[in-house]
């Protein structure tokens, strides 16, 4: 079973991980790198004791960390050993998440474009296959969104029963992929007054892209960005102004507020001063008197402006 998210292909397969011709396979190891049973034992038997010797030379490592060795006689090039447990053989789902993240970070650091995971912690550790698979899938999806994922990721299950449970994570990734395309999309909008004590003017930009009209400065929140960071960035990109004393006004989530698709915006109000220098998605930008706004204002931005004016008036009365 295969799906592609952005530039990464993800495959769920029933196979012996030691037989795969991939760049790197993952070993669910103990922190001392003693390769006894389970996947580790199979890697040692088929790949050679030199794999264990190389790993032992780097041990002990912290639980949740990962190291890399050669793959000996295995068809893969590398083995990435991640410590899912200590010598007490206890593990948990938080450790699985840390181990998956450590493997993906090591792949990014070493330029490894292809990696195969077993169900970490589900063998000797006794964790639920479906749950560990979902955790691993979450970390792979996050790495994809942050442009640090390998080009190909395999989820590998030895038995039919484990494969059937692991495939639940495949469905989960399909859902995440669909939701990331479907939306709703998160945006920010900046109400910028010339003064918060007695505002008389507001900044609007004329949109360069459809839907056209005058609008509040704003745009989409980037992955890994807070809404506060996004509104500052968008305002500076589109107008050259620096937001001051700004705060959240409210969220606007009517599915029909944006004729393109479903967007939810977090609106802010604050003030700025200076000349508007339009750039980015703004064809023009200028200060408008509040009693002389343009007739065509895009989206629900006229409502947002009215709400912001009302909020400032309430603050003055307090």
Q: What are 214-231's pLDDT values in tens digits? A: 999 999 999 999 999 999
CA triplet 285, 288, 290: central angle to 5 degrees? 145
Residue 47: its H or E element: helix 38-47
Same domain membership, residue 163 and residue 34: yes
Predicted confidence at residue 182, as pLDDT, reads 85
Q: Mind giving me the DSSP string for 115-160?
A: EEE--TTSSTT---HHHHHHHHHHHHHHHHHTT---SEEEEEESSH
Q: Up-side HSE of residue 283: CA atoms within 13 Å toward CB?
A: 10
Angle, to 10 degrees, between the axis of helix 160-182 and the axis of helix 129-145?
A: 40
- Who's near 201: CB < 8 A, 6+ residues apart? 193, 194, 287, 288, 289, 290
Same domain membership, residue 67 and residue 131: yes
- Who's near 188: CB < 8 A, 6+ residues apart? 218, 219, 221, 227, 230, 231, 234, 265, 266, 267, 268
Domain extent, residue 118, equals 2-182
With b for 16 or more beta-carbon neighbours within 10 A and e for fewer, the 11-35 pattern comes to: bbebeebbebebbbbbbbbbbebeb
What is the domain-level CATH number for residue 156?
Answer: 3.40.220.10
Same domain membership, residue 166 and residue 196: no
- Using CA atoms, how far residue 209 sits from 130, 201, 203, 266, in Å, is 44, 24, 18, 21
Of the candidates 117, 152, 182, which is a domain's last residue? 182
- Using CA atoms, how far residue 266 sits from 189, 190, 230, 243, 301, in Å, is 6, 9, 10, 15, 12
Predicted confidence at residue 210, as pLDDT, reads 84
The SS3 call for residue 31 is coil
Same domain membership, residue 313 and residue 192: yes
Same domain membership, residue 93 and residue 239: no
**Does the predicted model carry a pTM greater than 0.85?**
no
Predicted confidence at residue 28, as pLDDT, reads 96
State both tokens at 299. 């989206």
Same domain membership, residue 148 and residue 218: no
Same domain membership, residue 169 and residue 21: yes
Predicted confidence at residue 262, as pLDDT, reads 94
Predicted confidence at residue 199, as pLDDT, reads 94
Same domain membership, residue 197 and residue 172: no
Same domain membership, residue 70 and residue 173: yes
For residue 69, which phi and psi values (nearest 5 degrees)?
A: -135, 175
Same domain membership, residue 70 and residue 46: yes
Same domain membership, residue 299 and residue 156: no
Of the candidates 142, 167, 182, which is a domain's last residue? 182
Predicted confidence at residue 57, as pLDDT, reads 98
Angle, to 10 degrees, between the axis of helix 49-56 and the axis of helix 38-47?
A: 120
Same domain membership, residue 138 and residue 104: yes
Residues of the chain with confidence (pLDDT) below 70: 318
Predicted confidence at residue 191, as pLDDT, reads 98
Of the candidates 113, 147, 182, which is a domain's last residue? 182
What is the domain-level CATH number for residue 195?
Answer: 3.90.79.10
Q: How many domains are there within the chain? A: 2
> What tens digit of pLDDT does each residue of 193-216 get?
999 988 999 999 999 888 889 999
């Amino acid at each position: 079973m295969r799906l592609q998210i952005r530039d990464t292909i993800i495959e769920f397969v029933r196979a012996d991980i030691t037989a795969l011709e991939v760049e790197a396979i993952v070993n669910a190891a103990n922190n001392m790198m003693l390769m006894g049973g389970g996947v580790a034992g199979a890697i040692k038997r088929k790949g050679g004791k030199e794999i264990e010797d190389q790993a032992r030379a780097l041990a002990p490592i912290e639980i949740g960390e990962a190291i890399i060795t050669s793959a000996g006689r295995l068809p893969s090039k590398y083995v990435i050993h991640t410590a899912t447990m200590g010598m007490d053989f206890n593990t948990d789902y938080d450790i699985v998440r840390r181990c998956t993240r450590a493997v993906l970070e090591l792949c990014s650091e070493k330029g490894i474009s292809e990696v195969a995971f077993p169900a970490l912690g589900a063998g000797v550790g006794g964790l639920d296959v479906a749950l560990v698979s979902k955790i691993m899938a979450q970390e792979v999806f996050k790495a994809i969104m942050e442009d640090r994922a390998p080009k190909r990721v395999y989820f590998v299950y030895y038995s039919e029963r484990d494969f059937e449970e692991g495939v639940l994570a495949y469905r989960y990734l399909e859902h995440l992929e669909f939701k990331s395309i479907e939306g709703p999309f998160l945006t920010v909008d900046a109400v910028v007054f010339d003064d918060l004590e007695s505002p008389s003017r507001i900044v609007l930009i004329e949109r360069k892209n459809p839907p056209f009209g005058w609008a509040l400065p704003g745009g989409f929140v980037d992955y890994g960005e807070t809404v506060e960071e996004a509104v500052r960035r968008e305002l500076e990109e589109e107008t050259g102004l620096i937001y001051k004393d700004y705060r959240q006004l409210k969220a606007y989530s009517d599915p029909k507020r944006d004729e393109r698709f479903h967007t939810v915006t977090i609106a802010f109000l604050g003030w700025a001063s200076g000349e508007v220098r339009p750039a980015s998605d703004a064809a023009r930008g200028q200060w408008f008197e509040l009693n002389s706004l343009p007739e065509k204002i895009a989206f629900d931005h006229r409502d947002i402006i009215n709400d912001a004016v009302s909020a400032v008036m309430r603050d003055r009365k307090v």
